[in-house]
Amino acid sequence: MTGQEDVAGAVAAPFRLLDDLAYLVIDQLRDDKPTLVACSLVCSAWLYRSQRNLFRSITIKNYPCRFEIIDRSYEFFRFLQGGTEDKSTPKTHIMNSIRHLELKGWMPYDKIPPYPTKSADALPLTLLRAYLTILPNLESLALRGRYIADDYPVHPTESLLGSSHLSSFFRPLNALTIQRYDSPSRRDLPHLFNFIGLFPRIESLSLSGLWDPPFPLANLLSHAQRGPVINKLEVDTLASPLAAVLYDLLRRSGCLSGHLTEVSFSGRWTDQSSDDTTVFSPFLHDVGAGLLVLKLKLPDETLDWMLHNGPALSLRSCTMLQSLTLAMEFDEDSLVVREWLGSCYDTSFRAYGVLLEHDIAFLQALREVVFPLTGGSFAVQNFPLVTAIPETWAGLDDTLVKLPALECVRFVFVSYSFDKIPLTGEEVLRRSAEGCLPLVGTNRRIDVPFKVR
């Protein structure tokens, strides 16, 4: 920075921002890409720090070109290794900067699965291991629309990084997310569990959209190895056979000894014999003693079944549980659901009341119960009608008031930006929620936050 003239006309000494202070400012700009690019052009001292934040999070997505899908994940690996046409040196500064890596396939996310998987969405296990070998500071990895497959010739990874240099032991990850995993080949699925088993520890493991395998469960179990130790698990619409293998992996990893403290489960319904909840319930029984946070999202068919047959799972092992989220799973964009949204709310609250009442004696440490509700502006029309039904809330109110450590009941209304709940609607929902649990509301908080996706 240049000096400035003082009152007497003398030129003051130039002011120079200390590098340590400049680095702190640059780090605060990690989400502002244009400003980081500008900072990288100021001076050589700012260049490395700016690039470290610029390349902190990388997303590589396949894209269509004429009649084929171009796989960018291999091209980016060659770029990092200096294997492009310019024969440049390895991009060590970029490899050291990457903390979050996301590999996305080209898949029609707006279509109902199974998807027409392209060969370019195959991700060789060798290529993944190579990425993990050259990225020493990687903290989180996300695979969306990609499936782990054999090492196809189109990915000659060994020509850039010899197989002898591929690590067989990797650093723990803060987060591993695998979403929309739909392999067209029966031989590919075991690679998924082999990949998960490469890590000794994963802070947060999230699996969603993994559909039924095209071969018997016994074949998967024979390939399953010892799994990682994890602290947080999220399972979303994971097919029952795959879920059984995953839970078996985690049992072998020692997560039953108290490492696993948070579990999120979202089930799907085909029929009662293959309901995902029937597979999840034994696993919850095994890990429940160490859980502090449990999030459940059960499909409306399961909730309706619970009303007539009793709880589909047991919370008796969750004696240390402090926070319980009970969400409702239905397609809010469906016109049929919009017409019956009030009935869905009513069924969900009564069914979750049955679940709580069944195991109320074992939830003595529970401090918070959360009810996420979707529906957008349709919630404004339907939720107040449901809160006016005394028999829906009488049992739930009587049950919640029996929890000695309960401090707060939270109704979270979630809407999309195109169907945002107006302020007048927020006030209507807040009054309705605060008045539906009179016994609980006398000496416990009832919060009504609103979220927009």
Q: Domain ranges for the chain, please list them.
A: 14-54, 56-171, 291-453
Instruction: Tell me the HSE value of 392 on the side-chain side, using a 13 A CA sphere.
Output: 18
pLDDT number for residue 233: 92
pLDDT category at 335 given cuts 50, 70, 90 is very low
pLDDT category at 213 given cuts 50, 70, 90 is low
Rounded-to-integer distance, Cα 308 and Cα 354, Å: 10
* Residue 155 pLDDT > 60: no
pLDDT number for residue 226: 65
pLDDT category at 336 given cuts 50, 70, 90 is very low
pLDDT number for residue 99: 92
Q: Are 227 and 252 in contact (CB under 8 A)?
A: yes
* Residue 362 pLDDT > 70: yes
**Mean pLDDT value across the chain:** 78
* Residue 164 pLDDT > 50: no
Greater confidence, 385 or 291? 291
Greater confidence, 435 or 223? 435
pLDDT number for residue 123: 82
CA separation (Å) from 402 to 162, 193, 292, 326? Answer: 63, 43, 19, 18
239-263: pLDDT as tens digits: 777 787 788 778 776 666 668 899 9
* Residue 66 pLDDT > 60: no
pLDDT number for residue 366: 96
* Residue 288 pLDDT > 70: yes
* Residue 324 pLDDT > 90: yes
97-123: pLDDT as tens digits: 899 999 988 755 444 344 444 555 778
pLDDT number for residue 183: 66
User: Does the N-terminal peptide bond of residue 114 adopt cis geometry, omega within 30 degrees of 0?
Assistant: yes
Rounded-to-integer distance, Cα 220 and Cα 246, Å: 10
* Residue 12 pLDDT > 70: no
* Residue 323 pLDDT > 90: yes
* Residue 168 pLDDT > 70: no
**Mean of pLDDT values over 197-215:** 78
**Mean of pLDDT values over 184-192:** 68
**Mean of pLDDT values over 365-371:** 96
* Residue 223 pLDDT > 60: no
Beta bridge partners of 447: 410
Q: Which residues, including other chains, have CB under 8 Å from residue 365's CB and lie 6 or more apart? A: 319, 320, 321, 322, 405
pLDDT number for residue 263: 93
Beta bridge partners of 377: none
Percent residues over pLDDT 70 in the chain: 74
pLDDT category at 292 given cuts 50, 70, 90 is very high
Considering Cα of 4, then 7, then 11, then 17, what sign does the dihedral take? negative
Rounded-to-integer distance, Cα 409 and Cα 241, Å: 35
